[in-house]
């Protein structure tokens, strides 16, 4: 940091404010002088009217040019008047300019020249050119004079201020600063003294007394600080040991949190067939991290029946909970009952527990830690850790870690149960969807394809036959006098008749692609891919004879004593049939001809 004398700083501040004060005073004085000068200039026209105008008007009347010139010179000699111009009514124009004219800005005044001020005729016009230059010169002269005077005053004041500041302030402060720099903490130092004598107490003497008091306090403080530093060093060493131990525990907790986070992430969108393998892997990671000989996870349902058992063992350690079977935990040994009741079992020395509990504990376990896993305040499982090769006193932070794992294990168990339930629900849903699909495409009474299914299949079969240029045919059939059958025997008998005919159609048309369907009340149709015109008529006749062979009594028939059918056939013809609807129209026409021919025949 750059050094600058305090006396010089004080002097600069004093001079700055003194100059500022002088500038303000000078500005006020200049303003007053300007105002007075302007007032004086404004009085010039009145002065000319009062003093010079009578004589000038008389001279103009008498046309005495020398006198006029003399009067104009007298007027221009007035301070501030730079020039005068006289224009008479006779057209004469006289101009006189002051030898001291500056040529700056002018204020122009025009005065009438009259012999008598009370209405006499004007003899001409006198024009005055008044300048501000004299006023400005007066202000400048005053400011220069004031500046010179103030400069001398400031110089004298500055020398006096420097002398007093150096004697009474700067030298004592320098002495105190030199003594402070020479002071070494912890070493004896003589009291500070000033090199000038004074009989009065002032700020310097108070500052000296403060320095001496501070010196004594510092020495006392240093002695106390040395004692404190010794105690602080011992406390710091102890704190370092605690920090190191705490850091190790925090690192372990961080590693555990990362482990739990990684395990939890694996179970977010895991499929059902990978859940058990993931649980085995999670137990292996947890058992290795906690350095136990064996750990296990048991899941239970809402009736506390064991539904899942997973176990991990270190190398050389036998299984401990395998083979629990599916039974309520309440029927298990006393340890499980105690766990369900209290939530935690912490047994550092299994051989010292009561015999009743010892009997329910495998003989190879030295230490045991188990927790109850809850979800929505209901037990959903058990997690346990066994020490086989040595006893172990579980630390508090280890108990905290195990409790923290409870939520994760609960989520794992619930996730597994949900996936199982979801799988069962999906299977049931698929079966229901298949059943609904069958119901949507089949006739509810006969079980044959319904009209919707028939319409979907007929177009696909027709388009395929045309595309591959393959044979394709269809049969339209109707039960003869079926209305009379219903009227005589009732609708239940009619439904039974339809079911029997449907069973016959199902057993009769069994080749791939053949589709019998019920398309109306007693109307049926059959799609027959691969058959030409002759083959479809043979199949139709064979079907008619099979219906005749059923020998279903029909008391209302007018052509036979049993159920008979009329059939119409059509085979695809590339020249006539551009759509399946045209084929169906041909088959309907053939069916109509069969009915017109007396029924129980093929058209």
Task: Render pLDDT for 258-278 as a digit per residue (tens, 0 to 9).
Answer: 888 888 888 777 887 888 888
The β-bridge partners of 517 are 449, 525
172 confidence band (pLDDT: 50, 70, 90): confident
Q: Residue 570 in 3-state DSSP? A: strand
**Mean per-residue pLDDT of the chain:** 82
DSSP 8-state code for residue 119: T
On the CB side of 497, CA atoms within 13 Å amount to 28
Instruction: Answer left, alpha or beta for residue 377, where phi above 0 means left and psi between -120 and 50 means alpha.
Output: left
Residues 321-343 have a mean pLDDT of 62
Quickly list H helices, 291-395. 334-342, 355-359
- In Å, the largest CA–CA distance within the chain is 172
More confident residue, 380 or 337: 380
Q: 300-304: long-range contacts (C-beta < 8 A, 24 or more apart)?
A: 300/329, 300/379, 300/380, 300/381, 300/382, 301/417, 302/378, 303/328, 304/328, 304/329, 304/330, 304/340, 304/379
Say whether pLDDT at 198 is over 70.
no
Q: What's the confidence (pLDDT) of residue 324?
A: 52
Count other C-beta atoms under 10 Å from residue 391's C-beta. 14
Burial class (CB in 10 A: 0-12, 13-18, 19+), 76: buried
What is the pLDDT averaged over residues 471-481? 96
Q: Where are the domains of the chain?
A: 9-138, 293-422, 451-596
pLDDT band for position 77 (50/70/90)? confident
Considering the domain delimited by 293-422, tell me its CATH architecture: 2-Layer Sandwich (3.30)
Q: Are 77 and 100 in contact (CB under 8 A)?
A: no
The pLDDT assigned to 216 comes to 74
Least confident window among 55-64, 175-184, 282-291: 175-184
Specify the pTM. 0.38
Range picked from 318-327, 400-409, 472-481 for highest mean pLDDT:
472-481
pLDDT over 80 at 356, yes or no: no
Q: Report the topology of domain 451-596.
A: Alpha-Beta Plaits (3.30.70)
Crossing angle between the packed helical segments 491-508 and 533-550, to the nearest 10 degrees: 140
CA distance 180 to 172: 12
pLDDT given for residue 364 in this prediction = 74
Please give the angle made by the CA atoms of 462, 468 and 472, to the nearest 5 degrees.
40
| Spatial CA neighbour of 577 closest among 511, 545, 533 | 533
Look at residue 60 in the predicted model and tell me its pLDDT.
80
Share of the chain above pLDDT 70, in %: 87
Closest by CA to 370, choosing from 387, 355, 354, 353, is: 387
Which SS3 state, helix, strand or coil, does residue 560 take? Answer: coil
Residues 6+ positions from 191 with CB-CB distance below 8 Å: 212, 215
The class that CATH gives domain 9-138 is alpha beta
Report the distance separating Cα 572 and Cα 471, nearest Å: 7
Give pLDDT, residue 211.
73
pLDDT at 450: 92
Cα–Cα distance for residue pair 435/467, rounded to 1 Å: 33
pLDDT at site 355: 43
**CA dist 539 to 271, 294, 523, 590, Å?**
53, 75, 18, 15
Quote the CA–CA distance of 172 and 212 in Å, as a whole number. Answer: 15
Burial 490-525 (b: 16+ CB within 10 A, else e): eeeebeebbeebbebbeeebeeeebbbbbbeebbbb
Query: What is the rounded (10 degree) CA torsion for 236, 242, 243, 246?
Result: -170
**pLDDT at site 202:** 67
Confidence category of residue 358, pLDDT binned at 50, 70, 90: very low
Question: Which of 201-210, 228-237, 239-248, 549-558 shows the lowest mean pLDDT across its residues?
Answer: 201-210
How does strand 93-97 pair with strand 81-88? antiparallel
Query: Is residue 327 very low, low, confident or very high in pLDDT (cuts 50, 70, 90)?
Result: very low
Per-residue CA distances from 268 to 300, 405, 446, 553 (Å): 21, 16, 49, 68
Asked, colleague to colleague, whether 9-138 and 451-596 share their fold, the answer is no
* pLDDT for the residue numbered 508: 95
């Amino acid at each position: 940091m750059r050094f600058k004398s305090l006396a010089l700083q004080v002097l600069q501040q004093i001079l700055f404010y003194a100059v500022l004060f002088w500038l303000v005073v000078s500005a006020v004085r200049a303003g007053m002088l300007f105002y007075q000068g302007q007032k004086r200039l404004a009085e010039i026209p009145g002065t000319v009217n009062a003093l010079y105008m009578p004589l000038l008007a008389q001279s103009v009347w008498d046309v005495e040019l020398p006198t006029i010139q003399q009067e104009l010179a007298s007027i221009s000699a007035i301070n501030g008047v730079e020039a005068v111009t006289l224009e008479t009514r006779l057209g004469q124009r006289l101009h006189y300019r002051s030898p001291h004219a500056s040529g700056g800005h002018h204020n122009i005044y025009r005065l009438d020249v009259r012999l008598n001020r009370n209405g006499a005729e004007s003899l001409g016009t006198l024009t005055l050119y008044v300048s501000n230059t004299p006023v400005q010169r007066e202000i400048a002269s005053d400011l220069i004079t004031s500046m010179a005077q103030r400069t001398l005053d400031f110089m004298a004041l500055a020398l006096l201020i420097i002398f007093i500041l150096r004697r009474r302030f700067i030298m004592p402060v320098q002495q105190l600063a030199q003594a402070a720099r020479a002071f070494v903490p912890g070493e004896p130092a003589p009291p500070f003294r000033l090199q000038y004598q004074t009989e009065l107490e002032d700020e310097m003497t108070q500052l000296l007394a403060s320095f001496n008091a501070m010196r004594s306090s510092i020495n006392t403080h240093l002695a106390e600080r040395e004692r404190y530093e010794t105690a602080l060093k011992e406390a710091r060493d102890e704190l370092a040991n605690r920090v190191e131990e705490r850091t190790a525990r925090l690192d372990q907790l961080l590693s555990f949190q990362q482990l739990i986070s990684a395990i939890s992430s694996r179970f977010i969108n895991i499929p059902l067939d990978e859940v058990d393998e993931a649980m085995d892997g999670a137990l292996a990671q947890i058992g290795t991290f906690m350095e136990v000989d064996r750990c296990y996870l048991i899941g239970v349902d809402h009736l506390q029946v064991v539904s899942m058992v997973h176990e991990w063992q270190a190398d050389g350690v036998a299984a401990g909970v395998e083979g629990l079977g599916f039974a309520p935990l309440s029927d298990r040994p006393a340890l499980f009952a105690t766990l369900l009741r209290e939530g935690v079992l912490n047994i550092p020395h299994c051989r010292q527990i009561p015999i009743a509990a010892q009997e329910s504990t495998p003989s190879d376990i030295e230490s045991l830690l188990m927790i109850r896993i809850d979800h929505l305040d209901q037990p959903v499982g058990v997690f346990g850790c066994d020490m086989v090769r040595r006893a172990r006193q579980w630390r508090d932070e280890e108990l905290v870690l195990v409790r923290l794992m409870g939520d994760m294990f609960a989520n794992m168990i619930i996730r597994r149960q949900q996936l199982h339930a979801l799988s069962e629900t999906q299977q049931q849903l698929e079966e229901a969807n298949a059943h609904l699909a069958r119901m949507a495409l089949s006739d509810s009474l006969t079980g044959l394809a319904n009209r919707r299914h028939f319409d979907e299949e007929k177009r696909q079969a027709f388009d395929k036959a045309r595309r591959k240029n393959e044979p394709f045919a269809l049969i339209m059939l109707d039960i003869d006098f079926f209305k009379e059958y219903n009227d005589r025997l009732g609708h239940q008998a009619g439904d039974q008749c339809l079911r029997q005919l449907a069973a016959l159609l199902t057993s009769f048309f069994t080749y791939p692609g053949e589709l019998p369907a019920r398309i109306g009340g007693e109307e049926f149709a059959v799609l027959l891919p691969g058959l030409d015109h002759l083959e479809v008529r043979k199949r139709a006749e064979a079907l008619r004879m099979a219906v005749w062979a059923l020998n279903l009594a029909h008391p209302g028939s007018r052509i036979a004593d049993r159920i008979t059918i009329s059939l119409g056939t059509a085979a695809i013809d590339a020249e006539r049939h551009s759509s399946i609807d045209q084929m169906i129209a041909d088959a309907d026409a053939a069916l109509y001809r069969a009915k017109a021919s007396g029924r129980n025949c093929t058209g």
